[in-house]
């Protein structure tokens, strides 16, 4: 079942995770929202991991390793 997540566009946060700008926040929230309809249940740690991937702090190979650690 889909549950809305906390997004604060004024403070640029999603579930308490800070974003560098509104464009990145919107991009990540759209991607996560699409996956939520398929049953994905985000956590602040998963949102931070996706943000780090999206901004280039985490590379493809690191993403899979870190994702396995979180799940």
Question: How far from the centroid of its chain's Cα atoms is residue 21's Cα?
Answer: 14
H or E element: which one contains 18? strand 17-18
**Site of tokens 């979180």:** 70
| pLDDT for res 2 | 61
For the chain, domain boundaries: 7-70
Single pTM value for the model? 0.84
**Mean pLDDT across the chain:** 90
Percentage above 70 pLDDT, the chain: 97
Whether 29 and 51 have beta carbons less than 8 Å apart is answered as no
pLDDT tens, per residue, the chain with 71 residues: 567 889 999 999 999 999 999 999 999 999 898 888 888 889 999 999 999 999 999 998 898 899 888 88
């Amino acid at each position: 079942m889909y549950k809305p997540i906390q997004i604060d566009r004024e403070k640029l946060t999603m579930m308490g995770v800070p974003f560098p700008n509104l464009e990145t926040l919107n991009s990540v929230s759209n991607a996560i929202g699409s996956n939520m309809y398929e049953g994905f249940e985000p956590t602040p740690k998963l949102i931070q991991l996706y943000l780090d991937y999206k901004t280039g702090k985490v590379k493809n190979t690191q993403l899979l390793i870190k994702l396995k650690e979180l799940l």
